Amino acid sequence: MKQAILSIWRWFDTSSDTPAAEGDESRVDWLRVVPFIGLHVTAIVGLFLVGWSWVAVSVAAALYAIRMFAITGFYHRYFSHKTFRTSRPMQFLMAIVGASSVQRGPLWWAAHHRNHHRHSDTAADVHSPVTRSFWYSHMGWFLTRAGFRTDWTVIPDLRKFWELKLVDRFDVFIAIGLAWLLFWLGGYLGEHYPELGTSRSQMLIWGFFVSTVVLFHCTVTINSLAHKFGRRRYKTRDDSRNNWFLAIITFGEGWHNNHHHFPGSARQGFFWWEYDLTFYILKVMSWFGLVWDLKPVPAEFRQRGRIQS
């Protein structure tokens, strides 16, 4: 009973983690992942119950785009790799937007990703489809007891910000807040603009549940698919690949072999024909002083280590 209560409490406070018994680290913490399962079930079942409207689908698409950029631009390229600089208020704001994606907090995300680059496609890489199964690399790894933990030793630069630690600790409340806001918006539109054909439940299902589930699975394709399918331009220590389709749905993250070749660049599409929406948005933000010092790809790195085909 005590363990069950602790698992439920961890839904709301990620800092309440404790080491699991020896040999239990790789096991799925089923009680703790109930919300994740519920997210998927609600999204699928809800679609059959609430119907659709253009406004609900548009809100879902907009939230997919906004939160995808928060993940790719800030969780990944900023918090994980420090490929540009920004202000403390901006990093806090984007940490909040990223946390609304239900992909855990920015410190947890950055720590796991930094370890991924250290151990990519080795036995120590917890989400490698090369050393593990597809489904484990896609989502099984972070449902385990070990996967829930944050390796604080690899993020000393981030843990000094108390506000980021707060977001990381209570990230679930940000997601709940977004869900409530969408529920309210659906009710407001349904009452004042009935011609739009939406409602509280419809806006909640499409804007939060469907958008979040699609966002999640598109994001983690970079773990599972971008190490199995695509072309390798550079000889890296891992099996990372460039995949043009994944680059479209993840706003440029699909140029994954490029990224593993030189992870220090704010741009992952190394050449002009490699579509990288995240970089384009960051570039526009830099014109307004919201971000700066975007690190480029050194010219010599574009040719160094190329695989001759």
pLDDT(21) > 60: no
User: What confidence score (pLDDT) does residue 57 get?
Assistant: 98
Per the prediction, the chain carries an average pLDDT of: 91
- The tens digit of pLDDT for each residue in 223-249 reads 999 999 999 999 999 999 999 999 999
Q: Backbone dihedral region of 268: left (phi > 0), alpha (psi from -120 to 50 degrees) or beta?
A: alpha
Cα gap 238→7, rounded to integer Å: 35
pLDDT(2) > 80: no
Whether 111 is in a domain gets the answer yes
Q: Which amino acid is at 5?
A: I
- The closest of 150, 145, 148 to 23, measured between CA atoms, is 145
pTM over 0.85: yes
Whether 286 is in a domain gets the answer yes
Task: Give the alpha-carbon dihedral of 302, 116, 121, 214, to 10 degrees.
Answer: -90
User: What confidence score (pLDDT) does residue 149 get?
Assistant: 85
Q: Backbone dihedral region of 82: left (phi > 0), alpha (psi from -120 to 50 degrees) or beta?
A: left
Q: What is the mean pLDDT of residues 188-195?
A: 96
Count of structural domains within the chain: 1
Whether 189 is in a domain gets the answer yes
User: What confidence score (pLDDT) does residue 22 get?
Assistant: 47
User: What confidence score (pLDDT) does residue 133 get?
Assistant: 86
User: What confidence score (pLDDT) does residue 3 get?
Assistant: 61
- The tens digit of pLDDT for each residue in 30-88 reads 878 889 999 999 999 999 999 999 999 999 999 999 999 999 999 999 999 999 999 99
Can you give the residue range of the structural domain that contains 261? Answer: 33-303
Polymer length in residues for the chain: 309
pLDDT(24) > 60: yes
Cα gap 124→163, rounded to integer Å: 30
Whether 14 is in a domain gets the answer no
Whether 15 is in a domain gets the answer no
Whether 71 is in a domain gets the answer yes
Whether 263 is in a domain gets the answer yes
Q: What is the mean pLDDT of residues 245-264?
A: 97
Q: How far is CA 77 from the centre of its chain?
A: 11
- The tens digit of pLDDT for each residue in 270-291 reads 999 999 999 999 999 999 999 9
Whether 133 is in a domain gets the answer yes
